[in-house]
A = this chain, B = another copy of it.
Amino acid sequence: MERTSVKVGLLGFGTVGTGVVRIIAAHQEDLFKQTGLSIEIHKILVRDRGKKRNVAGTEHLLTDRAEEVLYDPAIDVVVEVMGGIHPAKEYICAALEQGKHVVTANKDLMALHGAEILTLAKERGCDVFYEASVAGGIPILRALEESFSSDRITKMMGIVNGTTNYILSKMSQDGAAYEAVLKEAQALGYAEADPTSDVDGIDAARKMTILSTLGFRVAVNLEEVDVKGIREVSKEDIAFGKKLGFEIKLLGLAQRDDDKIEVSVEPTMVHRSHPLASVNGVFNAVYVYGEAVGETMFYGPGAGELPTATSVVSDLVTVVKNMKLGVNGQGMVAPYKEKRLKADGEKHSKYFLRMVVADQRGVLAQITQLFADNRISLGQVIQQPYHEGHEAEIVLVTHQIAKSDLQQALLALADMQVIKEIKSWYRVEDGEE
């Protein structure tokens, strides 16, 4: 008898899970037109069956026993939207072992154990799709996988964390300080009570791991990402950035030169002329540079019940189409290139530095001499009185230099008598080489 429906087991029934159930219900007819099969939620794993739910007619689907989903032979596809590493990983692996396809929105899991999960899926001839794990509603993984298949991607830059982008945008708009805006974001539900994973850049680093692995076809590990968060970004830095035409963004960077790569997440001075500079609030954007295509950018909501659920259901539609065609397990290309990471001497960028110095004759000359001695040429220099004391503030932007040269210069600067404090330094992204 020919198959007429696909049965889905849902792991987790929080915000995204609820969105998935709603979207499938609302678009049943369209989904059928596209796939020729009806998509049915067959079981939903929840922690507490007694809890009141916002979606009517699902009570009879709820179970608190994972095995009722994972080992039910009627279930074709498992959709994991519970989050966290354990037991999500064990559940997904069990589902794959049972020959079930998997759609997941779990960036933490895919960043840490993606390669292992994809390998298991391939062995079992199963699909694993995870579009929702990076930049919620933006179909960036599919673009990297399919649309740029004939190009060579050399650079990806992403604003991939909505919480920190909200905080930095708000600091920039209102001239407000980090702590105040963080509190406001927490009150609005844009930041969690413990904001560590967002503000320290860990969440963004996970997403850059997934993006760089897919874009460069190299297995990048989370610990290979250089990470710096936004806690130290001051309103003075933002104000000085603006003077020079920059906005500060928590930018994920994945860059490839001569087949060596670097992946980082750090607050970056992005020039106003760059399309990433005007991505504000909780929006996400991923900028991709391909040798042939040149510059492209994908912009959209980075999170939220419905955007994320839309990505999940789109992945589900792809699984269903593959089932209908009998071609599952052919999806995402496993990373196959040799990984070579850049040393700091091979990472090149412009940098912004802000420091407080003694306000005496010849200081600027001493400092610029020090930069020259460290092979660093300067693009812009601003000097102005610092508060009302006998000190001055110097802000400068370098030309392209090696990161190792910057580090040398920072050490040498710290030893100089006339320098009172190095306030901050940032990578600069101005779209020019």
Contact = CB atoms under 8 A, between A and B. Distances in A.
A401 B129 CA distance: 44
B317 A293 contact: no
Contacts of A306: 291-294
Nearest to A141: B147
A186 interface: no
Contact of A149 (B34, B290, B327): B34
A196 B195 CA distance: 55
Contact of A131 (B147, B311, B317): B147
Interface residues of A, number: 56
A349 interface: no
Interface of A: 19, 23-24, 26-27, 30-31, 33-34, 131, 137-139, 142-143, 146-152, 217, 275, 278-279, 283, 290-301, 304, 306-307, 309-311, 313-314, 316-318, 321, 325, 327, 330, 333, 336
Given A19-B292, A292-B309, A139 B150 contact: no
A332 to B, nearest CB: 11
Contact of A33 (B143, B278, B333): B333
A336 B278 CA distance: 38
A142 B137 contact: no
A254 B379 CA distance: 45
Contact of A314 (B150, B295, B330, B333): B150
Contacts of A147: 131, 139, 142, 311, 314
Pick from A151, A301, A330 the residue with the most CB of B within 10 Å. Answer: A151
18 contacts: A19-B292, A23-B292, A27-B152, A30-B150, A34-B333, A139-B148, A142-B143, A146-B314, A146-B317, A147-B311, A148-B314, A149-B314, A150-B310, A150-B313, A292-B310, A294-B307, A295-B301, A327-B327
A139 B143 contact: yes
Contact of A310 (B23, B148, B298): B148
B296 A298 contact: yes
Contacts of A152: 26-27, 30
A327 B313 CA distance: 22
B298 A293 contact: no
Given A146-B314, A294-B304, 14 more contacts: A23-B151, A34-B149, A34-B333, A137-B292, A139-B146, A139-B147, A142-B146, A148-B310, A290-B310, A293-B300, A294-B301, A297-B298, A298-B299, A321-B330
A106 to B, nearest CB: 19
Contacts of A217: 33
B293 A301 contact: yes
A275 B279 CA distance: 8
A24 B139 CA distance: 25
Given A296-B300, A301-B294, A325-B325, A336 B139 contact: no
Given A314-B147, A327-B327, A296 B138 contact: yes
A327 B318 CA distance: 14
A237 to B, nearest CB: 24
Contact of A27 (B139, B150, B283): B150
